[in-house]
Amino acid sequence: MSGRSGGASSGLTWSVLREVKCAELEQAADGWGRVSNRADAARDRIEGQLLPGLRDTQRGEAPDAAVRGLRRLGMNFQYIYTECGLLRTTLNSLAHEIKTQQRVLQGALDDAAALRFTVHADGSVTYPAAGEGLVDGKPLAGGTASGVPNPGMVPPSGLVAPNPNAGKAQDIADRVAQAVRAAADADWRYTRILRSLKAHEGLGVPVATWTDAAADAAAVRDAARGYLRDAIPHDASPAERKAWWAGLTDEQREEYLAVYPDRIGNLDGIPALVRDAANRDNLQLLMGKLEGRDDDDSATKLAALREIDRQLRAGPKAGEPPMYLLGIGDQGNGRAIVSYGNPDTARNVAAYVPGLNTALDKEFAEGDLKRARDLSIASNRHGAPAAAITWLGYDAPQSPDGLRSLAVAADGRAEEGGRAFHEFMGGIKAANDHEDPHMTAIGHSYGSRTVGGAAQHPGGIPGVDEIVFVGSPGVGVDSADDLGVGRDHVFVGAAANDVVTKLPSKAESVLGVAGVGFGGPAAAYAFGDLVDRRNDDVWFGRDPASEAFGARRFEVGDGPPLIGRGKPTIDAHSEYFDPELDKASVDNMALIAAGRSHKIKTEDAR
């Protein structure tokens, strides 16, 4: 087909369009697909077998050099996989569009044949005499109609010939012209895309190549919208999505993975292994995209993505849970969902929602992910195979001064995040192999308000049996009975020295807020406390550690005092997950996640 500009003047005729062999395009697509698959398998072999084997058994300069060489080879295969996968879908998508126009054309030609009209090489249609003249009653003369590619552009004339064939011929000619024009347009668009799917010279896969690959993926996606994307069931339930994925052929799955790794990777309900594979690919594309930018926000996210990439490549040590990337994205403050342990095969699954000021940055990639990892290790000691997840699937509020400055926005963010978390847990439940997996939702700090929001949806959080709040400034409800799991399955960890769990309520803060400007949260707390001693209310409702709330309080360390090491510190707010600082807290959460909550070490309510 021609590569010249589109439109009726492209030189493409209807007879050429009719003869285009789309099956050949599809065969070519299959060929690229096979190359892509082989590259993918080769990469898996390098990263899954060769590299770990070398690392575990060899030390020294030669093995180190071999590791570097293999890494580069792995990157090369990754790139081949991505680009060949894009080529495959581009060709399939082109065939899809051409076939659509061939059907339009064939319909018009069939109609013409049935009416005994003649379709000429230039697309005009000749029709015979028919009807009767108004004056003499004789049949009206035949004629020729020329097609108009955009019929809406030509105003209908009031003086059309009354020959009944004229209108039909015009319609046929228009359809032929439209099919030819649409096909020429597709030809032009796909030619451009195929020309851009080119690699740089040489064996290195430099940053620019990945930036380029990210742009390639965007272009192919845009073109293949009609062919692939509309079928992704974004609005379906997690169970329906699982069924949708199970019903696809291998070829279809490969195409979705190659072209829409971002959408498949974040689609709640499909298997964790699929999401992981898609997100690992998308991670490379995202890093490529962000490497092409030089603003602070991109640099912050890029540092986090690189750290996640480093951890994924390092792989687990013996006896440690493997890592699954269940979600990744650069929208808003960034998204990352990481599971330690396979959440589909695990009997016990816990998901942790981080809180205030959490965003996709290096601190998150190191600290927040480690929390799930440590919890997974501890849970696995206490029961059946467990997976623990860090879920950053929403924009947590950002406020350097703490909760006070975001009184208005905060509830909204929690509700939004609650909806997303609700859906995510629905996906975990649907994808899990067990009939009734044991599931735990853990909210830290503001994340506990998000979990509280998720629990307010009808039926509570899907599949969740236990809810844990640590360092909570309130969860949006006043009783452990209102969270959908029963008060015996709601647990609270509140360190004696954690000021966040004692933030005075909004009503009290009207008086207490005067302290913020002078002494930060510490002074504000002191003010609030003076204003109203012995009150159960905290920032987002009743203190979940209070007796009136009715949750079970488990033992955690006291944490360092607010003003004890010379300067004010709120470290007591962030030690709950850290086995190096508060092992008892981690073990208690692990027992709950392992379904052995009757064994936890409890502490009296406040």
Partner 1 sequence: MTVVSAQRRGSLLGVVDRFWRKSDYRMTVINNDVDVPAIYARTQDGFQVSLIVADKGQVHFDVDSPCVRHSEVADSTSQATAFLAPDAELIPRPNIHSDFWSATRS
How far is Cα 67 from Cα 46, in angstroms, rounded to an integer?
Answer: 10
How far is Cα 332 from Cα 316, in angstroms, rounded to an integer?
Answer: 30
> Of 53 and 332, which has the nearer Cβ to partner 1?
53
581-587: list long-range contacts, CB under 8 Å, 24+ apart.
Answer: 581/557, 582/495, 582/556, 582/557, 584/555, 584/556, 584/557, 585/470, 585/493, 585/554, 585/555, 585/556, 585/557, 586/374, 586/375, 586/378, 587/378, 587/382
Phi-psi label, residue 556: left if phi above 0, alpha if psi -120 to 50, beta otherwise: beta
> Of 142 and 322, which has the nearer Cβ to partner 1?
322
> Of 340 and 527, which has the nearer Cβ to partner 1?
340
> Of 383 and 568, which has the nearer Cβ to partner 1?
383
Give, for 441, the enclosing helix (H) or strand (E).
strand 438-444
> Of 10 and 379, which has the nearer Cβ to partner 1?
379
Closest CA to 498 of 574, 422, 439: 574
> Of 33 and 437, which has the nearer Cβ to partner 1?
437
**CB 336 → partner 1: shortest distance, Å?**
21
Cα 522 versus chain centre, distance: 38
Phi-psi label, residue 98: left if phi above 0, alpha if psi -120 to 50, beta otherwise: alpha
How far is Cα 477 from Cα 475, in angstroms, rounded to an integer?
Answer: 6
**CB 504 → partner 1: shortest distance, Å?**
29
> Of 512 and 557, which has the nearer Cβ to partner 1?
557
How far is Cα 524 from Cα 53, in angstroms, rounded to an integer?
Answer: 56
Give, for 438, the enclosing helix (H) or strand (E).
strand 438-444
Task: Specify the pairing of strand 386-392 against strand 348-353.
Answer: parallel
**CB 594 → partner 1: shortest distance, Å?**
7
Query: Hey, which bits of 315-437 come out as E strands?
Result: 323-329, 335-340, 348-353, 386-392
**CB 600 → partner 1: shortest distance, Å?**
8
**CB 439 → partner 1: shortest distance, Å?**
19
**CB 534 → partner 1: shortest distance, Å?**
27
> Of 181 and 573, which has the nearer Cβ to partner 1?
573
**CB 381 → partner 1: shortest distance, Å?**
4
Residue 372 in 3-state DSSP? helix
How far is Cα 166 from Cα 177, in angstroms, rounded to an integer?
Answer: 16
Closest CA to 275 of 248, 257, 252: 257
**CB 342 → partner 1: shortest distance, Å?**
8
> Of 28 and 54, which has the nearer Cβ to partner 1?
54
Structure tokens given for 250: 């291998």
Which DSSP string do the residues of 197-232 spell out, in sequence order? --PPSSS---HHHHHHHHHHHHHHHHHTTTTTGGGS
Query: Hey, which bits of 7-158 come out as E strands?
Result: 118-119, 125-127, 143-145
Structure tokens given for 293: 């930018």
**CB 555 → partner 1: shortest distance, Å?**
6
> Of 145 and 378, which has the nearer Cβ to partner 1?
378
**CB 375 → partner 1: shortest distance, Å?**
14
Structure tokens given for 495: 């360190």
314-320: list long-range contacts, CB under 8 Å, 24+ apart.
Answer: 315/51, 315/52, 320/373, 320/377
**CB 74 → partner 1: shortest distance, Å?**
19
> Of 142 and 367, which has the nearer Cβ to partner 1?
367
Q: What is the dihedral of CA 190, 191, 194, 199, to 10 degrees?
A: -150
**CB 64 → partner 1: shortest distance, Å?**
15
Report the interface residues with partner 1, using CB under 8 A. 52, 56, 316, 318-322, 341, 380-383, 385, 555, 557, 579-581, 583-584, 587, 591, 594, 596, 599-601
> Of 240 and 433, which has the nearer Cβ to partner 1?
433
